[in-house]
Homo-oligomer: A and B are copies of this chain.
Amino acid sequence: MSIITAVDTFDVRFPTSQGLDGSDAMNPDPDYSAAYLIIRTNAGDGHEGHGFVFTIGRGNEVETAAIEALRLHILGREAEELLGDMGATWKLLVHDSQLRWLGPEKGVMHMAIGAVINALWDLKAKREGLPLWDLLSRMSPEELVSLVDFRYITDALTPEEALDILRRAAPDRGERRARLLTEGYPAYTTTPGWLGYSDEKLARLAKEAVAEGFTQIKLKVGASLEDDIRRVRIARETLGPDIKIAVDANQRWDVAEAIEWVGHLAPYDIAWIEEPTSPDDILGHAAIAKALAPIPVATGEHVQNRVVFKQLLQAGAVDVVQIDAARVAGVNENIAILLLAANYGVRVCPHAGGVGLCEAVQHLSMFDFVAVSGTKDNRMIEFVDHLHEHFVTPVHVHDGSYWPPSALGAGNEMLSQALTHYSFPDGAAWTATPSALVNLTSS
């Protein structure tokens, strides 16, 4: 038996707005950041649980405060009790009767819960000597179903239906696990497509992406129709007909505008239109999907919880479910979303990039392949080659694929020197570059 003795938090920010990496129609100057926590115990085994919320700068201190508000449920508790029933632990955090008012189940508070849940999963996987994807893939269908809170989703997925999905996939888990280790999991790259890049840089990076083995790239759109048509045309001409080109509007449009704008890009064979409008607009996405079919509609990186994903699926509003490791309430809720998507036969292509999102979300897709949907067909995980060097076990992406991590844990752990150097506002990255602070003086 061991006790959780510390829940330490860190406000970590990278001055990425100094370049234009990460720029899109809604996020012109992000400073990629993490509201980060480390859970420590007195077990003496050296294992810590790491987790984070990804943000893009200002307000990261609010997210950090939200993680701290959850301490009362974790600190001083028996680790084995919390880790032994992660379904109950999830409900303990999400259904706190007072904190719930701050959502419910959305925004700052819900993301903070996600970070704590993910840190607990990181600790649990390390203790069990497995990477998270493998830990989840070894759990029984009954254990997996116990992780999911079915509140508000039983009209789209019952516990019995979830069990059926998992039981159908169970017999061939071993075979798919072996395939995963030898084949990897497909990736696509957004590196060429940031809005701030010149046409020349776009073409060069697109060519490099194909040379590196990627079969899909993604371009940011939505600021200028003329520019978008030119950029998509350049990409198509550069890449030829066989490479997929997705476009991402980052919520730039209203419904009618989305339909019209994407119509102008359709001749260039669009792999999907991502975030055409508000992530809250289920009916809007449904209208867009209907009008633009057969162009698939993708969304999810800002979708707040399983209840909204449920409706997107019920309404036929989404063709590509883009889970995010750090938006909903962590691993448990993402399992609910994977099961919902499987029940509706819709593919999942996770959002990643940012800081640590690739490292974290790959575990969920690999688990999905082994134990839930059982397929990688037409599925891929986003990849952005950025900031991986700050992680203890950065992703292995080569030949156009993510390769299954063998390191213990959930992939969330940042190097301690990065936590120190990029600590905001007192880390050397900020004190040495006062100009970088201009963009972030929110307190």
Binding site for B on A (CB under 8 A): 26-31, 55-59, 61-63, 65-66, 68-69, 71-72, 96-111, 150-155, 251, 254-256, 277-284, 287, 302, 304-305, 307-308, 310-311, 314-315, 439-443
- Minimum C-beta distance from A310 to chain B (A): 8
User: If the complex has contacts A59-B69, A311-B281, are A100 and B26 also in contact, measured as CB distance less than 8 A?
Assistant: yes
Tell me the dominant secondary structure on chain A's binding face.
loop
Cross-chain pairs A/B with CB under 8 angstroms, 15 sampled = A30-B97, A31-B98, A57-B98, A62-B66, A63-B102, A68-B443, A104-B302, A106-B107, A107-B108, A107-B304, A108-B109, A155-B255, A155-B284, A280-B305, A282-B311
Q: Is the CB of A71 within 8 A of B442?
A: yes
List residues of chain B with CB within 8 A of the CB of A69. 58-59, 61-62, 442-443
For the A-B complex with A108-B108, A281-B307 known, give 8 more contacts whose Cβ atoms are closer than 8 Å: A27-B101, A29-B98, A30-B98, A55-B101, A68-B443, A71-B442, A102-B107, A104-B302
Q: Which of B59, B305, B443 contacts A102 (CB 8 A)?
A: B59
Q: Is the CB of B284 within 8 A of A152?
A: yes
- Minimum C-beta distance from A116 to chain B (A): 13
- Minimum C-beta distance from A67 to chain B (A): 9
Q: Which of B62, B151, B280, B440 contacts A65 (CB 8 A)?
A: B62
Q: Which of B62, B108, B110, B254 contacts A155 (CB 8 A)?
A: B254
List residues of chain B with CB within 8 A of the CB of A102. 55, 59, 62-63, 107-108, 111
User: If the complex has contacts A66-B62, A71-B442, are A281 and B315 also in contact, measured as CB distance less than 8 A?
Assistant: no
Q: Is the CB of B109 within 8 A of A62?
A: yes
List residues of chain B with CB within 8 A of the CB of A311. 280-284
List residues of chain B with CB within 8 A of the CB of A65. 61-62, 65
List residues of chain B with CB within 8 A of the CB of A29. 97-98
Q: Is the CB of A58 within 8 A of B155?
A: no
Q: Is the CB of B283 within 8 A of A315?
A: yes
- Minimum C-beta distance from A188 to chain B (A): 22
- Bound Cα distance A253, B305 (Å): 17
Q: Is the CB of B279 within 8 A of A282?
A: no
List residues of chain B with CB within 8 A of the CB of A278. 104-105, 151-152, 307
With CB as the reference atom, state the residue of chain B lying closest to A279. B104
List residues of chain B with CB within 8 A of the CB of A441. 72
List residues of chain B with CB within 8 A of the CB of A282. 282-283, 311
List residues of chain B with CB within 8 A of the CB of A305. 280
Q: Is the CB of A151 within 8 A of B254?
A: yes
User: If the complex has contacts A97-B27, A110-B107, are A152 and B61 also in contact, measured as CB distance less than 8 A?
Assistant: no
Q: Is the CB of A106 within 8 A of B280?
A: yes
List residues of chain B with CB within 8 A of the CB of A100. 26-27
User: If the complex has contacts A61-B69, A68-B443, are A280 and B304 also in contact, measured as CB distance less than 8 A?
Assistant: yes
Q: Which of B59, B97, B155 contacts A99 (CB 8 A)?
A: B59
Q: Is the CB of A154 within 8 A of B284?
A: no
- Bound Cα distance A281, B283 (Å): 12
List residues of chain B with CB within 8 A of the CB of A442. 69, 71-72, 99
In this complex, the member of A97, A154, A282 whose beta carbon has the largest number of chain B beta carbons within 10 angstroms is: A97
In this complex, the member of A101, A107, A108, A279 whose beta carbon has the largest number of chain B beta carbons within 10 angstroms is: A101
- Bound Cα distance A255, B307 (Å): 12
Q: Is the CB of A254 within 8 A of B154?
A: yes
- Bound Cα distance A158, B61 (Å): 37
With CB as the reference atom, state the residue of chain B lying closest to A27. B97
With CB as the reference atom, state the residue of chain B lying closest to A23. B97
List residues of chain B with CB within 8 A of the CB of A283. 282, 311, 314-315
- Bound Cα distance A61, B61 (Å): 12
With CB as the reference atom, state the residue of chain B lying closest to A441. B72
User: If the complex has contacts A282-B283, A314-B283, are A59 and B55 also in contact, measured as CB distance less than 8 A?
Assistant: no
With CB as the reference atom, state the residue of chain B lying closest to A152. B278
With CB as the reference atom, state the residue of chain B lying closest to A64. B65
List residues of chain B with CB within 8 A of the CB of A68. 443
Closest 7 pairs (CB-CB, A-B): A107-B107, A108-B108, A57-B98, A58-B98, A280-B307, A152-B278, A155-B255
